[in-house]
Amino acid sequence: GCMLNGKLYPLGHIERTEDCYRCSCSQTEMSCCSIFSIPVAYDQENCKFALNRKSCKYDLVQNNNHSKEC
């Protein structure tokens, strides 16, 4: 298998890791790509984004109130 961030994954195709990556694991290497996109056009002064690992999407929230979306 392959080790990624302290977790062992089986050889072959991994559809989704705990960190929202799609990977291919062989006996010699592991290659991964993200399955999420990072927001680029947002109010950087008043908002921040955090990866929602359950949905593998970024949630854009207000800096002073994380329960409110931007």
pLDDT band for position 10 (cuts 50, 70, 90):
very high
Whether the per-residue pLDDT at 58 is higher than 90: the answer is: no
**Helical H runs in 7-69?**
none
Q: Are 61 and 41 contained in the same domain?
A: yes
Q: Are 27 and 51 contained in the same domain?
A: no
pLDDT band for position 36 (cuts 50, 70, 90):
confident
Domains of the chain: total: 2
Domain assignment of residue 15, given as a range: 2-34
Higher pLDDT, 12 or 60: 12
Question: How many angstroms separate the CA atoms of 5 and 19, rounded?
Answer: 9
Q: Give the residue-averaged pLDDT of 14-38.
A: 92
Question: How many angstroms separate the CA atoms of 13 and 2, rounded?
Answer: 11
Q: Are 41 and 61 contained in the same domain?
A: yes
The per-residue pLDDT for 27 is: 92
Assessment of whether the complete model's pTM goes beyond 0.75: no
Q: Are 42 and 65 contained in the same domain?
A: yes
Q: Are 28 and 45 contained in the same domain?
A: no
